[in-house]
Chain A
Amino acid sequence: MTTMLKIEQVAKTFTLHVQGGVEISVFQGLDLTVDAGECVVLSGGSGVGKSTLMRMIDANYVCPSGRILVRHDEDWVDMASAHPHQIIEVRRRTIAYVSQFLRVVPRVATLDIVSEPLRAVGVDAEEARARAAGLLQRLRIPESLWSLSPITFSGGEQQRVNIARGFILGRPVMLLDEPTASLDAANREVVLDLIREARNRGAAIVGIFHDADIRDAVSTRAFEMAHYARQAA
């Protein structure tokens, strides 16, 4: 299979200058390769750095040492050292990052938020909105809410808007940080289907799922993070 993501000898330490320069070592010497069609589930207890690693792949967190190579078209882009405008380009077309939390511009309608990733790759407004509507319907967001900003929505609704925005464009690398955390059973089923469909179309997926049923349903492999925890000195 085509390799989509190569993480090589990555380490992460946070230095909290505001709190007396405390250093928190998260992991070191971490290697992970993910192929197209795989769904690798990060495992390990709380604080082992699962979300931190996800954010580093998306370049939301700084990667101080090692390389994080993402296949972007025919090139490998190192997210640890790429220029901001390259990272934005990789996020636009290659990496979809779905977190637990929705962060949006006030006043923008849900339908526009969900269609935005399509608009950003040049899909025309009408088609983008039609596809966004289809996905929102599938995720059971009532049509009466589509023209409103999701800021006032319930937690579960916001999360589904976030999922819709993440899945609307079939990007080849997907980072899923607890995408089903506050969903009921019916909605969770829809999200599981979306993840399976993404895997079947060849997306390389890295996920964090605390719920064992979900993990079993979508995972092709587990990656134990605890092996890379830095030993206490």
Chain B
Amino acid sequence: MIGAAQPILQADDVAHYYGRHRGCEHVSFDLFPGEVMGVVGESGSGKSTLLSTLYGRLTPTAGRVTCRTRTDESVDIHTISEPERRLLMRVDWAFVHQNPRDGLRMNVSAGANVGERLMAVGERHYGDIRSKAIDWLERVEVDAERIDDLPATYSGGMQQRLQIARNLVTGPRLIFMDEPTGGLDVSVQARLLDLLRGLVTDLGLSAIVVTHDLAVVRLLAHRLLVMRKGRVVESGLTDQVLDDPQHPYSQLLVSSILRT
């Protein structure tokens, strides 16, 4: 439920420059528990740079990213110690890559991909790990019979669902998604979106979803940032931004969608 709680993630005037080239700048927002925020914009708009900076993979050139931990502490994710940051990423955060190959270990079985994350947070009992892995494969609609197969034998859509299971098995509170439905065909996309939406609602997850697909954010995101040339040009409630866009670029983006 979305309510009065403190923000789970805060960006305060965040910027990242690649040398002299602007990746993103002047990005500020509060993300509340249970809230899903979409970041949209064309290729090169800085949305993936922003996601990487928020996730701590890139260092901000300016500004701060603050997150609230499970123990209700407020920490600057770029200044905490490396062990603290790794713990945060293992326990509280998850990252779903566009290409499942970047988020999976392709040379171990599907079950091991899910179980490995549990072991990383201290689970040791083989039976428990396997039964949790089976449970999660079922939740993402992967046939449990395929638990011992390598991900390489899975279809693209199955690999993406497996990546989601691997990420969610440890019960993170904040999930970063970079084009989670990119590269999948349309019917597979719809199924994945429906699944993600259910999981996000049932588990009360917060999420930041980067995509160029406005249909994805309409279904998944409560609110939007529209980015262009590294800056946020418009932000607000998803359906408001999509149905009554104010900025010339948002209007162009919305009016460019092909209607079927």
Report A's interface with B, CB cutoff 8 A: 14-18, 55, 59-62, 84-85, 87-89, 105-108
Pairwise interchain contact B244-A61, C-beta atoms closer than 8 A: yes
Pairwise interchain contact A105-B219, C-beta atoms closer than 8 A: yes
Pairwise interchain contact A62-B244, C-beta atoms closer than 8 A: yes
CA of A61 to CA of B240, assembled, Å: 5
Expressed in whole angstroms, the minimum distance between the Cβ of B240 and any Cβ of chain A is 6
- Name which of B10-18, B19-27, B166-174, B248-256 contacts chain A: B248-256
CB pairs A–B below 8 angstroms (20 shown):
A17-B247, A18-B251, A55-B243, A55-B244, A59-B240, A60-B243, A61-B240, A61-B243, A62-B236, A62-B240, A84-B238, A85-B32, A85-B35, A85-B222, A85-B223, A105-B193, A105-B194, A105-B197, A106-B193, A107-B194
Chain B interface SS verdict (over half): helix
Interface assignment of B3: CB less than 8 Å from any CB of chain A = yes
CA of A88 to CA of B237, assembled, Å: 9
Pairwise interchain contact A106-B237, C-beta atoms closer than 8 A: no
Expressed in whole angstroms, the minimum distance between the Cβ of A22 and any Cβ of chain B is 12
- Say yes or no: A87-B237 contact (C-beta < 8 A), given A55-B243, A62-B246: yes
CA of A59 to CA of B236, assembled, Å: 10
- Say yes or no: A88-B222 contact (C-beta < 8 A), given A18-B255, A106-B190: yes
- Say yes or no: A84-B248 contact (C-beta < 8 A), given A18-B255, A89-B2, A107-B191: no
Interface string of B111-135 (1 = CB under 8 A from A): 0000000000000000000000000
Chain A interface SS verdict (over half): mixed
Pairwise interchain contact B3-A89, C-beta atoms closer than 8 A: yes
Pairwise interchain contact B244-A60, C-beta atoms closer than 8 A: yes
CA of A221 to CA of B2, assembled, Å: 36
Report B's interface with A, CB cutoff 8 A: 2-3, 32, 35, 190-191, 193-194, 197, 219, 222-223, 236-240, 243-244, 246-248, 251-252, 255
Expressed in whole angstroms, the minimum distance between the Cβ of B62 and any Cβ of chain A is 25
Closest-by-CB residue of A relative to B187 is A106
CA of A61 to CA of B252, assembled, Å: 17
Contact of A84 (CB < 8 Å), options: B3, B194, B197, B223: B223
Q: Which residues from chain B contact A16 at a C-beta distance below 8 Å?
A: 251
Closest-by-CB residue of A relative to B219 is A105
Closest-by-CB residue of A relative to B236 is A84
Pairwise interchain contact B190-A107, C-beta atoms closer than 8 A: yes
Q: Which residues from chain A contact B194 at a C-beta distance below 8 Å?
A: 105-108
CA of A105 to CA of B197, assembled, Å: 9
Q: Which residues from chain B contact A18 at a C-beta distance below 8 Å?
A: 248, 251-252, 255
Q: Which residues from chain A contact B246 at a C-beta distance below 8 Å?
A: 15, 62
Most buried by B among A16, A55, A84: A84
15 further A-B contacts with Cβ under 8 Å, apart from A18-B255, A60-B240, A106-B190, are A14-B244, A15-B246, A17-B247, A17-B252, A18-B251, A55-B244, A60-B243, A61-B244, A62-B236, A85-B3, A85-B223, A88-B237, A105-B219, A106-B193, A106-B194
- Say yes or no: A59-B237 contact (C-beta < 8 A), given A84-B222, A89-B2, A107-B190: yes
Q: Which residues from chain B contact A106 at a C-beta distance below 8 Å?
A: 190, 193-194
Closest-by-CB residue of A relative to B249 is A17
